Amino acid sequence: MTDERRDRILAAAREVFAREGFRSAEVKTVAEQAGVGKATIYKFFQSKEELLMVIVEENLNQLRDQALRHLVGSKPPLERMEDACRAIARFISHNRAFTRVLIQEAGDFAGEIQRRHLALMEQNLPLAEAFFSELRKDGYFVALDTRETIQMMMNLVMGSAYTWALTGEGDLEAQAVKYMRILVAGLRTDPKKVAP
């Protein structure tokens, strides 16, 4: 059973960090916005940094859930992959201010964010392997193993998100889908030329 105060604190911290920046934001402001005392925040989180990392981890879990919701289904695999790409880009778009905070200010936590991302990827590797096996039958993504393929795709989406968050230009969802289509087309191999 989760304590609803914890959820309010996370929601408030996300808004305050997005509005004021992580470094400038004060725990007192987060507490006021969440409607709790400052001590309550420290009951759930050891520090402002831990609060940020919990928000990051929950965002990663939500991104994973968005992707999985689209990747498992009855549509053709490429269509499912495009739907997942759109959903991830849409999630990032709706959280633009917080994405900008992560990009501009969370550099000190890049190693920990990457560690959590990689752990999440490892947990979901069997499902990803099954999905990419479907695509490989049609000659897609044969040059890289599943782990490398996921990393390349994440680099594409996150690189697009980075540029988009900093410049404020363009439609991230449209860009992500366009780049994914180019990537997929460039990685297709004629299945007749692929050794069994």
The string of pLDDT tens digits covering residues 12-54 is 999 999 888 888 999 999 999 999 999 999 999 999 999 998 9
Q: What angle do CA 78, 68, 92 make, to 5 degrees?
A: 90
- Average pLDDT over the chain, rounded to whole? 85
Whether residue 178 sits in one domain with residue 89: yes
Q: Is 192's pLDDT higher than 70?
A: no
- Looking at the fold, whether 24 and 68 belong to one and the same domain comes out as no
Mean pLDDT over residues 96-118, rounded? 77
Q: Find the domain containing 31 and state its range.
A: 1-45
| 117 and 39 share one domain | no
Total domains in the chain come to 2
pLDDT of residue 188: 66
- Whether residues 100 and 64 fall in one domain: yes
Contacts of residue 55, defined as CB under 8 A and 6 or more positions apart, other chains included, come to: 10, 13, 14, 17, 98
Cα 131 from Cα 72, distance rounded (Å) = 8
Q: What is the CATH number of the domain that holds 32?
A: 1.10.10.60
Instruction: Kindly state whether residues 96 and 41 are assigned to the same domain.
Output: no
pLDDT for the residue numbered 194: 46
Shared domain for 82 and 126, answered yes or no, is yes
Please enumerate, as own/partner, the contacts of 41-45 that have beta carbons within 8 Å and a separation of 24 or more. Answer: 41/9, 44/3, 44/5, 44/6, 44/9, 45/9
The CATH number for 55's domain is 1.10.357.10
* Predicted confidence band of residue 193 (pLDDT cuts 50, 70, 90): low
| % the chain with pLDDT above 70 | 92
Structure confidence at residue 195 (pLDDT): 47
Indicate if 36 and 124 belong to the same structural domain. no
In whole angstroms, give the CA distance from residue 177 to residue 183. Answer: 10
Q: Is residue 81 located within the same domain as residue 116?
A: yes
188 secondary structure, DSSP code = B
Question: Does residue 111 share a domain with residue 16?
Answer: no
Contact 56, 113 (CB under 8 A): yes
Rounded to an integer, what distance in angstroms lies between the CA atom of residue 56 and that of residue 18?
Answer: 13
Residues 53 and 86 in one domain: yes
Under 8 Å between Cβ of 95 and 103: no
Please, how many CA atoms are within 13 Å of residue 119, restricted to the half-sphere of its CB?
A: 9
Same domain, 53 and 24: no
Tell me, yes or no, whether 114 and 38 share the same domain. no
